[in-house]
């Protein structure tokens, strides 16, 4: 799917890199303005760095608008291309589909899975920007302080590794919840389709109780997913916050020792605060990837199905106008323009005949 929309993906990544890199260099510009302008009492330097900051802000605003447009475009392309593929496969399978996949499973793809597939395309632009901006900040810090640069280069990957133990359980629980949602949708479809029959035989309460049980099971599975998800969301705030405290503490120590100036201290705080964005983006991307993999597995399962009645490799010539429809096995001749009724002592035989004539099953050669 990504190969089919690579132009918009590359466009989103480009503007995502420009957008986040613009934010990454802002603390450096602010630090220069403080040291060269405020601390040195140089008005011209202050104005010059202020204009640079304004220009970077304009670039960030413009690239942010374009990044968001590409992100929404990527979301829509991925989501609706999934709808197109599944719809085409549904038509291609025909009568094979309900024998292989439940109706609820197909409904769940259209109501739930396509959103997760679109979201992973959406966040790809910000994730690429997060990677580049992280490297950019690390290089700037290494030029100012080797210690702080190493803290960023080593600390950020370690923080990301601290999140990985949660991703496995989250994927398993999300996959289980997705399976239960498909079964629940199937039950709801069966109830709606057979509501009149259920009322006629008095089976409404039985199916009502069954739906309630499955609904509660799905809800409990969703709660289990939410528990792991809440831990992941909490770590998105706690780990970057802890990282900010460490970087600011080290910067304050260097400022007290006289190793860095006040402008550089402000810049260090800006870097540490900014790095919360790439860290959260990386964690969000991992979360979206997990849910997208679960959704993609369900979609691929439907797309991998083959119809029981395969189309001919070579198109046969059309029969002459007015030709009769003949079933070789039973000897039935259906003449055109004549209403024909089939009656059999064995209902299964007439059902098989209808399936053969309608190509619901693969017929033996020369049967029809």
One pLDDT digit (tens) per residue for the chain, 368 residues:
667 777 888 888 899 889 988 888 888 888 888 877 777 777 888 888 889 989 999 999 999 999 999 988 888 888 888 888 888 888 888 777 777 777 667 777 777 778 888 888 888 888 888 888 888 888 887 887 777 778 777 877 777 777 778 777 877 887 788 778 777 877 777 776 666 666 666 666 777 788 888 888 888 888 988 888 888 778 877 877 787 788 778 877 877 887 777 777 788 778 877 887 887 888 788 878 888 888 888 888 888 888 776 655 555 667 777 777 777 777 777 788 788 787 777 777 777 777 777 666 655 555 54
Residues 86 and 21 in one domain: yes
Residues 80 and 198 in one domain: yes
Residues 296 and 220 in one domain: yes
Residues 345 and 282 in one domain: no
* Cα dihedral 149, 151, 153, 155 in deg (nearest 10): -160
Round to whole Å and give the CA distance between 105 and 103: 5
Residues 261 and 365 in one domain: no
Residues 119 and 229 in one domain: yes
Handedness of CA 22, 23, 27, 33 (dihedral sign): positive
Residues 358 and 235 in one domain: no
Residues 246 and 328 in one domain: no
Are residues 152 and 141 in contact, defined by beta-carbon separation less than 8 angstroms?
A: yes
**Residue 310 forms part of a structural domain:** no
Q: CB-based contacts of 178: which residues, under 8 Å, 6+ apart?
A: 108, 112, 113, 294, 295, 298
**Residue 8 forms part of a structural domain:** yes
Residues 267 and 356 in one domain: no
Residues 241 and 97 in one domain: yes
Single residue among 247, 269, 303 that ends a domain in this structure = 303
Domain count, the chain: 2
**Residue 314 forms part of a structural domain:** no
Residues 28 and 171 in one domain: yes
The residues with which 225 forms a beta bridge, in sequence order, are none
Round to whole Å and give the CA distance between 190 and 104: 9
Task: Residue 355: give the domain boundaries.
Answer: 320-368
The H or E element spanning position 334 is strand 332-334
């Amino acid at each position: 799917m990504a190969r089919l929309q690579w132009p918009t993906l590359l466009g989103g990544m480009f503007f995502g890199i420009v957008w986040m890199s613009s934010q990454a260099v802002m603390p450096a510009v602010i630090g220069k303005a403080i040291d060269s302008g405020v601390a040195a009492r140089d008005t011209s330097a202050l104005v010059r760095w202020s204009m640079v900051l304004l220009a970077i802000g304009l670039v960030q605003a413009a690239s942010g608008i374009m990044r968001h447009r590409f992100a929404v475009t990527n979301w829509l392309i991925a989501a609706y291309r999934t709808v197109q593929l599944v719809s085409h496969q549904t038509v291609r399978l025909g009568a094979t589909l309900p024998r292989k996949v439940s109706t609820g499973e197909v409904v769940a793809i259209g109501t739930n899975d396509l959103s997760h597939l679109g979201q992973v395309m959406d966040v790809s632009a910000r994730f690429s920007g997060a990677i580049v901006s992280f490297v950019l900040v690390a290089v700037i810090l290494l030029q100012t302080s080797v210690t702080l640069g190493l803290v960023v280069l080593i600390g950020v990957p370690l923080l990301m590794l601290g999140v990985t133990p949660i991703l496995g359980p989250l994927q398993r629980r999300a996959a289980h919840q997705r399976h239960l949602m498909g079964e629940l949708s199937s039950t709801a479809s069966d109830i709606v389709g057979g509501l009149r029959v259920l009322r006629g035989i008095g089976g409404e309460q039985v199916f009502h109780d069954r739906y309630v049980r499955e609904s509660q099971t799905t809800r409990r599975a969703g709660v289990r997913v939410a528990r792991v998800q809440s831990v992941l969301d909490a770590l998105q705030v706690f780990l970057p916050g802890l990282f900010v405290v460490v970087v600011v503490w080290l910067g304050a120590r260097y400022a007290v020792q006289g190793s860095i100036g006040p402008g550089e201290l402000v810049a260090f705080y800006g870097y540490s605060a900014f790095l919360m964005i790439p860290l959260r983006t990386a964690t969000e991307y991992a979360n979206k990837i997990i849910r997208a993999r679960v959704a993609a597995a369900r979609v691929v399962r439907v797309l991998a199905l083959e119809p029981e009645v395969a189309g001919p490799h070579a198109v046969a010539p059309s029969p002459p106008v007015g030709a009769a429809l003949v079933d070789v096995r039973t000897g039935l001749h259906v003449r055109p323009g004549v209403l024909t009724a089939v009656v059999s002592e064995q209902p299964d035989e007439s059902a098989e005949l209808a399936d053969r004539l309608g190509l619901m099953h693969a017929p033996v050669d020369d049967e029809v």
